[in-house]
Homo-oligomer: A and B are copies of this chain.
Amino acid sequence: MDCIFCRIAKEDSRADIVFFDKDVIVFTDINPKAPVHLLVVPKEHIQSIAHLEASHADIVAKLIYTAKSVAEKMGLSGYQLVFNVGRDGGQVVDHLHLHLLGGWKESDD
């Protein structure tokens, strides 16, 4: 199986990476829908929210906390966290990812 997000996680494919650790990687979306548009991705290949097993609870929480932490470090005054689930939900890449969208206002507004 050839998965672009698995390749990015293994550094076999390039991306503008803003954060990573042993579990997750955060990089910019190549088709940004907001001034700041990042993807928060588990290194483990999980297809989507609809494919989560009970054992994935920790990594799901970690995606949210990682997004929160990155948003704070970037000084975002407000942001949106979005999971698109399945083709009919707008999911394009079949590797779980959390969209972090923001930057519409400066944090000191």
Interface residues in A, total, Cβ within 8 A? 35
A105, chain B: closest CB distance, angstroms: 5
B90→A78 contact, CB < 8 A: yes
Chain B CB within 8 A of A79 CB? yes
A72, chain B: closest CB distance, angstroms: 7
A52, chain B: closest CB distance, angstroms: 6
Residues of A20-79 contacting chain B, CB below 8 A: 49-50, 52, 54, 57-58, 60-62, 64-65, 67-68, 71-72, 76-79
Binding site for B on A (CB under 8 A): 49-50, 52, 54, 57-58, 60-62, 64-65, 67-68, 71-72, 76-91, 102, 104-105, 109
